[in-house]
Chains A and B, each alone.
Chain A
Amino acid sequence: EAAVTQSPRNKVAVTGGKVTLSCNQTNNHNNMYWYRQDTGHGLRLIHYSYGAGSTEKGDIPDGYKASRPSQENFSLILELATPSQTSVYFCASGEMGGAETLYFGSGTRLTVL
């Protein structure tokens, strides 16, 4: 079973502060993803990566940066957090391919005050 670990599980940040959400996967998957989940919107793709050193914009990248320093780690960075970024964030990993199973972490609940 694929293992994807997110940290922290909960985070409270102040408006204008910097927030880093971390994700680690132990299954040597090439692809990793960051989604946010909000009521009424489902899961929306923020950034994704094909492998170490690569990041690609998803459907809602504004206000977010991503970093993939290694095969195992994928971070989501909010340089200047805003209350509208209050959400639950999910990281996922998957094998290379056009039709792939995604394995999700347990999520990070972020509150920006």
Chain B
Amino acid sequence: SQLAEENSWALSVHEGESVTVNCSYKTSITALQWYRQKSGKGPAQLILIRSNEREKRNGRLRATLDTSSQSSSLSITATRCEDTAVYFCATDTNAYKVIFGKGTHLHVLP
């Protein structure tokens, strides 16, 4: 079973719109990370939010963390075509393993 899992397989929005990707996880964590993977590339980290933080921002990106419901969200405002990618949430465990969800495919349409 997945320790971390995004709630949507695929999302489509038009350029300029906002979009939110949600993630749920099953274990206590020290941090949750959001990664983006563009076609043909390895994943790259967008935001790392620690368990004692509730919100973290990085430009047009905003991540939230709710440890009581074991969930996180990544919001992207003013989307651009280049935001088209697969978005993963990932959690660490006490054993220093980093486990990824299955990913949400985001398509930003012109």
Bound: A94/B31 CA distance, A: 14
Judged by a CB distance under 8 angstroms, whether B69 is at the interface is no
Judged by a CB distance under 8 angstroms, whether A90 is at the interface is yes
Q: Size range of the interface on A?
A: 20 to 34
Judged by a CB distance under 8 angstroms, whether B48 is at the interface is yes
Residues of the A chain whose Cβ atoms lie less than 8 Å from the Cβ of B102: 40-42
Residues of the B chain whose Cβ atoms lie less than 8 Å from the Cβ of A62: none
* Given A90-B42, A102-B35, A102-B45, 6 more pairs with CB closer than 8 A: A43-B43, A44-B100, A48-B97, A59-B99, A94-B98, A99-B31
Judged by a CB distance under 8 angstroms, whether B94 is at the interface is yes
Within 8 A of A (CB), among B60-110: 88, 90, 92, 94, 96-103
Bound: A84/B88 CA distance, A: 24
